[in-house]
Amino acid sequence: MPYPSIFAIDGPVASGKTTVGRELARQLGYRFVDTGMLYRALAYCSIQAQINPSEEKRLVQLAHETRFTLSAAGEMIFCDGVDVTEQLRTPQVEEIVSLVAKVKAVRQELLGIQRSIAEEGNVVMVGRDIGTIVVPDAAKIFLEASLDERIRRRFTEVQAKGSELSRERIKLNLQSRDTIDSERDEAPLRVAEGSVVIPTGENDVEGVVGHILQAFTIAEGG
């Protein structure tokens, strides 16, 4: 069956983008790319360099000078050849990643990397502005989930990694990031025109992926 060569999956924090995107890519034999890893990697590098997110010029310079490399399977990210994947979900990175990502020049700096990957085709990309900015001509999906569902998912995730973040702290972090992501001047989180909107709390991963494949097989005339 024919499917689009590029899928763009957007949605708020912990809405299920990574899980759904990874499974969709697996079923199609496509490359999976979580663009949020780029911003998390930059946030981690800024912590290491003792650069505050408010120091925008230094932050942009760091983004420009750092060589970001994503593994072919989308599982790992390297900064100047160093694997930083395991550092991306720390509480310190969680606290500042949206502040880093809202800087206009930072987003523009990382946009080229994302578009270069998309140009190769056969890729599933997830993020906040994939369908609106990065690849607006892609097959677009927007995933939704209630705040309670997203708290549950993130709490389960951090527990599995041995973190001691409380549900309340996770709730506050998600609410803060939602506000920053939706109100930032550059590429705010919104539903791209033509997106298939899917509530993930009402469906399991297989159900969501099946919905996507059915929607875009029909769209392709299959």
- 65-111 per-position pLDDT tens digit: 999 999 988 889 999 999 999 999 888 998 999 999 999 999 999 99
Structural domains in the chain plus CATH codes: 6-217 (3.40.50.300)
Question: Hey, is 199 helix, strand or coil?
Answer: strand
Point out the residues of the chain with pLDDT beneath 70.
1, 218-222
- CA–CA gap between residue 208 and residue 216 (Å, rounded): 12
Query: Residues near 174 by Cβ (< 8 Å), separated by ≥ 6?
Result: 12, 13, 14, 147, 150, 151, 154
* Residue 79 CB partners (closer than 8 Å, separation 6+): 41, 44, 45, 66, 67, 68
pLDDT for 218 equals 54
Please give the backbone phi and psi of residue 27, each rounded to the nearest 5 degrees, phi first.
-65, -30
Say what the pTM is: 0.91
DSSP codes of every residue in 43-56: HHHHHHTT--TT-H
191, amino acid identity: V
Q: List Cα–Cα distances, 53 to 9, 59, 84, 101, in angstroms.
A: 26, 7, 19, 9
DSSP code of residue 122: S
CB atoms inside a 10 Å sphere around CB 58: 15
